[in-house]
Amino acid sequence: MIIILKEHASENQVGELKNEMSARGLIIQEIQGETTRMIGLAGDTSGLSAETIMRHEYVERVMKVSDPYKLANRRFHPNDTVIELPGGHRIGGGGVTLIAGPCSVESEEQIVEIAREVKLSGAGFLRGGAFKPRSSPYSFQGLGLDGLELLKVAREKTGLPIVTEIVEQEHLEVFARDVDVIQVGARNMQNFPLLRELGRIGKPILLKRGLSSTIEELLMAADYILMEEKSPVILCERGIRTFETATRNTLDISAVPVLKEKTHLPVIVDPSHGTGHWNLVSPMAMAAVAAGADGLIIEVHNHPEKALCDGQQSITPALFDTLAKQAQRVHAAIKENA
Ligand code: PEP
Ligand code: MN
């Protein structure tokens, strides 16, 4: 529900209305439109009628938001959300942010070398899995907390903020302290207790689309994080399961413009998991940028043939360098003609 206020509504009146709504257990979001001031209400509004709210003479109008996601909804927040970290690292707000690194952290030498290389090519963030949610229990499961320590070494040596996946609530405290952007993998997109806990820790959360999730389900998952009002969210399209077997997943490029219309949250694309093949990463990365993505997350390995995880979809630092340059050129071309 969105309450549109009259121009003359005073601070006292707005405060009174907000108190009345929070007493009903609703989440309140102030929306500053170009000319109007509005209040977005999320939560159970079934017992609240428009007529009740309209009794306040300073209320102009009440609009129902029929979408099941509210806080992620662009109607609640017309301007794009921009995630800004210390050191000028940002996601959203007009550029193309590159997040790059191996699927898994394997050794200090590996992660530091890759971090140095991708930084030189323009990556703004380093990715690397320490806890890996592998489909097979017999596959490499990641270095765990040791992997996190190695990511911190790479951050120390390069200045790149780190993006890594959390798989269980037990690690919340360590991640809140040590990780710059916390990734929620496709397999955990609907782990609602984990999402709510992450919403409380005040770190940007990179939320990946579930293997078979709709865009609406992705946005509702984002609301689980946003309703705790502390952690901003970045959405990631990483391919969905279809009948097609030529690629690991089917990268849903149309999700980018659909999401950009429906939500204010930054949208990035993962063409590595989206395709599963290193030679398809660059073409799909360009398609993602052309479609309006705010960034890319790319698996880069210095020796893909020896990678402990996802080597077949990892590109070399040299290929990443070309991809990075081309992505910026595609982005500039799109902007020029916008
Ligand atoms: C990953 O980014 O390494 C990963 C496991 O991705 P997803 O959750 O999209 O499969
Ligand atoms: Mn991977």
Whether the CB of 40 sits within 6 Å of ligand 1: no
CA nearest to 133, candidates 211, 237, 62, 59: 211
The pLDDT confidence band at residue 33, using thresholds 50, 70 and 90, is: confident
The pLDDT confidence band at residue 34, using thresholds 50, 70 and 90, is: confident
Residue 199 falls within a domain, yes or no? yes
The pLDDT confidence band at residue 103, using thresholds 50, 70 and 90, is: very high
Give the C-alpha distances (Å, rounded to integers) separating 182 from 148, 161, 162, 172, 201: 12, 11, 8, 10, 10
35 with 143, same domain?
no
Q: Is 186 left (phi over 0), alpha (psi -120 to 50) or beta?
A: alpha
297 with 164, same domain?
yes
104 with 194, same domain?
yes
281 with 189, same domain?
yes
- Token code pair at residue 47: 């017992």
Residue 58 falls within a domain, yes or no? yes
Whether the CB of 210 sits within 6 Å of ligand 1: no
Nearest protein Cα to ligand 1, atom 8: 185
Residue 69 falls within a domain, yes or no? no
271-300 tens-digit pLDDT: 999 999 999 999 999 999 999 999 999 999
The pLDDT confidence band at residue 185, using thresholds 50, 70 and 90, is: very high
CATH number of 100's domain: 3.20.20.70
Reading across the β-sheet that carries 27-32, which strands appear in turn?
27-32, 37-42, 2-5, 59-63
112 with 190, same domain?
yes
Average pLDDT value over all residues in the chain: 96
55 with 127, same domain?
no
Whether pLDDT at 76 is above 90: yes
CATH number of 58's domain: 3.30.70.1140
CA nearest to 300, candidates 139, 104, 124: 104
171 with 301, same domain?
yes
Mean pLDDT of 160-178: 98
Could you give the CA distance from residue 240 to residue 253 in angstroms, rounded to a whole number? 11
303 with 164, same domain?
yes
Mean pLDDT of 240-247: 98
97 with 234, same domain?
yes
Q: Residue 272 in contact with residue 310, Cβ under 8 Å?
A: yes
DSSP string, 269-336: E-HHHHHS-HHHHHHHHHHHHHTT-SEEEEEB-SSGGG-SS-GGGPBPHHHHHHHHHHHHHHHHHHHH
Whether pLDDT at 124 is above 80: yes
CA nearest to 234, candidates 330, 59, 99: 99
155 with 21, same domain?
no
Domain count, the chain: 2
Residue 118 falls within a domain, yes or no? yes
Residue 26 falls within a domain, yes or no? yes
Termini Cα distance of the chain? 32
Whether the CB of 103 sits within 6 Å of ligand 1: yes
243 with 109, same domain?
yes
Residue 237 falls within a domain, yes or no? yes
Positive or negative torsion for Cα 133, 254, 280, 337: negative
Whether pLDDT at 338 is above 80: no
Whether pLDDT at 337 is above 80: no
- 23: containing domain: 2-63
Domain-ending residue, one of 63, 91, 116: 63
CA nearest to 38, candidates 5, 66, 71, 61: 5
Whether the CB of 317 sits within 6 Å of ligand 1: no
Residue 71 falls within a domain, yes or no? no
- Token code pair at residue 5: 């206020």
Residue to probe by mutation, ligand 1, list 189, 268, 273, 296, most atoms within 8 Å of CB: 273
307-324 tens-digit pLDDT: 999 999 999 999 999 999
Which residue blocks in 121-239 are alpha helix, DSSP H? 145-158, 172-178, 192-199, 215-226
Residue 73 falls within a domain, yes or no? no
Helices (H) and strands (E) in the chain, counts: 11, 14
Q: What is the DSSP letter of 132?
A: -
Whether the CB of 185 sits within 6 Å of ligand 1: yes
247 with 331, same domain?
yes
Could you give the CA distance from residue 270 to residue 146 in angstroms, rounded to a whole number? 25
